Structure 1
Amino acid sequence: MRIATYNVEWFAGLFDQEDRLYNDAGWSARHNVTRAQQTRALGTVFRALDADAVMIIEAPDQSGKQGTVAALEGFAAHFGLRTSAAIMGFANHTQQEIALLYDPAKITATHTPGGPVTDANGARGAPRFDGILRIDLDIDAREDLVVFSKPPLELSIETASGFSFQMIGAHLKSKAPHGAKNEADALRIGIANRRKQLAQAIWLRGRIDEHLERGSPLMVMGDLNDGPGLDAFEDFFGRSSVEIVLGHRGAFALTDPHATRALGQRIGAMPTTSRFWIAPEKRYLQALLDYIMVSPQFTDNNARWRIWHPLDDPECWADADLRDALVTASDHFPVTIEFDG
C-alpha cells in the first residue's frame, strides 16, 4: 500500500467555473508557469507516484460555483489515473481545500468527523474540526476562541485486504506576518499567528489522543507549515507544532523519520519537502513542512517513507521528465509512505 501527501500550489487556479481544466496558455498562479505546463507537470507527478491514495493539500475550491470532488475526479479522468475517486470534509473560504484522491479498488474512504459540535461559545478539549476551540493562548486567565481556517479532513479507511485505520489530513495556518507595517507590527502579528498555530496543533493532538486511546491505527499527514529551527518564534515558545502533533515518547507518540531526524540536529543536512524563492535574497529556501506521522501499527507493518525531492532523491534526479515536472508542478514535493496492508 502506498499513500502520499502532496501540497499542490494553487491547484484551484487550473479549473474553470465548471470544474474543467483550463489546460491552456494562460498563466497559472505559479510564477512564469502556464496552466497547461502546471497541469501537464501534475499529470506526470501523479502518474509517477502511482499511489493508492493522495492527500491533496490546497485542493481545488469548493464553493457555490465550483466543486472539489468534481474537479479532482475530472483531473484523474483526464490523465487516466487509477485514483479516480475523491472525498473531502468541511469546506473552507480560502480556495485551498483538503481532499483525498484514491483508488476505489484498493481502499474505501468515509468522512467520519469526531468531537462535539460547538456553538459560537466554542468548547474546550478537541471539538469537531469545523467548530470553535476555547483555549487560553497568552496566559491572561481569559480563554480565546480559535478556529481552523482549513478544517482537517478526518477519514475512516479500509483497504481491500481488510486493514482499517483512521486518517487525518491537515494544513495548519502559516505564521507569516502578512499585513505588517513595520518591524514591531511584524513581531506582534508573528507572535499572535504562532500562538494560533500552536493552539491548532494542540487541538489536532487532542483528536489524535482520542484515536490512540481507543487503539485505532492512525495516520496524520499534510502540511504543518512548521518544522524544527524554521523561525525564531520556536525558541520563544519552546516547541514547534511538529513536536506537539508527534506527541511525547511512549505509547501515544506518532512516528515520522524525517521529523525525528530534523528534531535531533541543529547543524547539518536535514530532509526538506518544499522550495520557495526568496526575492529579497535572490535565492531559494528549502524547508521540511510536509509530514506523514503514523502509529505503531504501521511501523510494525514495514512502513517506508520517501520524499520525492527532484534534487535529493536519486531516482527523481535520474528521470529528467519527472525531475522537471516536480519543480514545475508545485513549491512542495510529495511525501509517500509504503506499508504492508
Structure 2
Amino acid sequence: MRLATYNVEWFTNLFDREDRLLPDGGWSARYKVTRAQQAEALGVVFREMDADAVMIIEAPDANGRRSTVAALENFAAHFGLRTRSAVMGFTNDTQQEISLLYDPDALSARHAPQSGTVDVPRFDGVFEIDLDVDATKDRVSFSKPPLELDVETKSGFLFHIIGAHLKSKAPHGARDDAHAMKLAIANRRKQLAQSIWLRARIDQHLGRGTALMVMGDLNDGPGLDAFEGLFGRSSVEIVMNGAAGDLYDPHARQALTHRLGAAPTSARFWLKHEKRYLQALLDYIMVTPELKGRDAAWRIWHPTDDPVCWENPALRDALLTASDHFPVTLDLDI
C-alpha cells in the first residue's frame, strides 16, 4: 500500500463557490501559472503517484458555503483518480484545510479525534503551557487543527494517522526590525508549543501500542533557521522523539545526523531579493516501529533529485508547476 503527504499550494483557488474545478485561463495563486496549468499538473502528479491515500495539506476551503470533501471528490472525478473519497476533521479559518483523499476500494478512513484530557486537550481546544518561563501559562490553539483518522485496510489492518500542518506566523504589523524579531520569536514559541501538544498526543498512542503514522508539513527542520539555536530543538525533533518512544522518518534522520552534508529536500521557494531558490525539508511521514518493520520504503518525488522523476519530462514539469512542495510517499506491506 502507498500512502502520501502532499502540500498543494493554495489548492482552494482552483475551485469555484460550488466546489467545481476551474481549469481555465485565470491565474492561480502560483506565480505566472494559470488555474488550468496547475490543475492539469496536479492531475499528472496524482496519476503518476498512484497512491492509495494522500494527506492533502492546504486542501480546498471549508466554510458555510464551500466543502473541502466535495471539492476534492470533484477533482478526483475530473481526472478519473481512484482516490475518489475524501475525509476531513475540524475546519479552520485559513482557507487551507487538512484532508485525506483515498481509494475506498483499498481502505476506509474516519475522523477520530481523541477525547482529550486537561493536560492533552482535543486539537480543536486550547493547550496551556508556559512559553516564556514567567510562571504563567499561555493559552495556545492550532490555526490548523491536526486531522486524526482511524484507518482500516482492505486486508483488515488497523492503524491511526495524524495529518499536521504546523506553521509559525510571519511578523505582520511589525513597526521596525526589533519589533519584527520580537514577534517572530513569540510566533516561533507558539509553533514549538503546538509541536509539544502534538507530541503529547503521540505519547498517548504509543502508550497504548497504536500503530501510528504522523504525516504532513511541519514547516520546520534541523538547521532550517536561526531560531533553532535559540530554542535548542526544532519542531521535527520534538515530534519525532519522546519519553514513550521515537517515530522514524529516514529523511528527517538523515538531516538530523548529517547537518553539514547534503540533505534531502521536499520544497523549494523563490527568494525574490536574493534571486534564487531556497530548498528545504518540510514534509514528513513519521511512523512507529511496527509500521517501519513492514517493508517501509520512503520516497520524495523531487523533480530533479529523484532519478525516476527526472527521466520523465511530463512528470518533472508537472511537479514544478503543481506546487512549491513535492509529494512524499511511503510504501508499506499492510
Q: Name the structure 1 match of 2:138.
A: 144
Please say if 1:61 is aligned against 2:61: yes
Please say if 1:200 is aligned against 2:194: yes
Shift of 1:176: 3.2
**Does the Cα contact within 8 Å between 1:106 and 1:159 map onto a contact in 2?**
yes
User: Aligned letter for 1:146?
Assistant: V
State how 1:100-111 maps to structure 2 within 5 Å: 100-111=100-111
Taking the aligned partners of 1:338 and 1:181, their CA distance within structure 2 comes to 48
Taking the aligned partners of 2:36 and 2:218, their CA distance within structure 1 comes to 29
Greater CA drift, 41-50 or 172-181: 172-181
State how 1:11-160 maps to structure 2 within 5 Å: 11-116=11-116, 124-160=118-154
Q: Name the structure 2 match of 1:280.
A: 273
Q: Name the structure 2 match of 1:289.
A: 282
Taking the aligned partners of 1:266 and 1:295, their CA distance within structure 2 comes to 24
Taking the aligned partners of 2:277 and 2:173, their CA distance within structure 1 comes to 23
Taking the aligned partners of 1:183 and 1:213, their CA distance within structure 2 comes to 45
Secondary structure of 1:3 counterpart? strand
Cα RMSD after superposing both structures: 1.1
User: Aligned letter for 1:34?
Assistant: T
Render the CA deviation track for 1:42-97: whole Å, top value 9, x for unaligned.
00000011000000000000011110000000000000000010000000000000
Taking the aligned partners of 2:60 and 2:3, their CA distance within structure 1 comes to 20
Match of 1:241 among 229, 235, 244: 235
**Does the Cα contact within 8 Å between 2:218 and 2:236 map onto a contact in 1?**
yes
**Does the Cα contact within 8 Å between 1:56 and 1:99 map onto a contact in 2?**
yes
Match of 1:316 among 297, 309, 323: 309
Secondary structure of 1:140 counterpart? coil
Render the CA deviation track for 1:294-314: whole Å, top value 9, x for unaligned.
001111111000000001000
Shift of 1:243: 0.3
Taking the aligned partners of 2:139 and 2:58, their CA distance within structure 1 comes to 25
Render the CA deviation track for 1:174-208: whole Å, top value 9, x for unaligned.
35333333210121011101100000000000110
User: Aligned letter for 2:189?
Assistant: R
**Does the Cα contact within 8 Å between 1:305 and 1:338 map onto a contact in 2?**
yes
**Does the Cα contact within 8 Å between 1:113 and 1:155 map onto a contact in 2?**
yes
Taking the aligned partners of 2:118 and 2:274, their CA distance within structure 1 comes to 43
User: Aligned letter for 1:41?
Assistant: A
**Does the Cα contact within 8 Å between 2:207 and 2:244 map onto a contact in 1?**
no
Taking the aligned partners of 1:136 and 1:332, their CA distance within structure 2 comes to 33
Render the CA deviation track for 1:121-160: whole Å, top value 9, x for unaligned.
xx75210000011111111000111000000000000000
Q: Name the structure 1 match of 2:155.
A: 161
Taking the aligned partners of 1:125 and 1:245, their CA distance within structure 2 comes to 17
Greater CA drift, 167-176 or 49-58: 167-176
Taking the aligned partners of 1:185 and 1:164, their CA distance within structure 2 comes to 49
User: Aligned letter for 1:276?
Assistant: F
**Does the Cα contact within 8 Å between 1:115 and 1:126 map onto a contact in 2?**
no
User: Aligned letter for 2:318?
Assistant: A
Taking the aligned partners of 1:136 and 1:271, their CA distance within structure 2 comes to 34
**Does the Cα contact within 8 Å between 2:168 and 2:190 map onto a contact in 1?**
no
TM-score normalised according to structure 1 size = 0.96
Taking the aligned partners of 1:20 and 1:110, their CA distance within structure 2 comes to 24
Taking the aligned partners of 2:43 and 2:268, their CA distance within structure 1 comes to 20
TM-score normalised according to structure 2 size = 0.98
Shift of 1:285: 0.2
Match of 1:252 among 235, 245, 251: 245
Shift of 1:251: 6.0
**Does the Cα contact within 8 Å between 1:124 and 1:134 map onto a contact in 2?**
no
Match of 1:335 among 321, 328, 333: 328
In structure 1, the gaps of 5 or more residues are: 117-122
Identity score, percent: 68
Shift of 1:36: 0.2
Secondary structure of 1:154 counterpart? strand
Taking the aligned partners of 1:179 and 1:255, their CA distance within structure 2 comes to 38
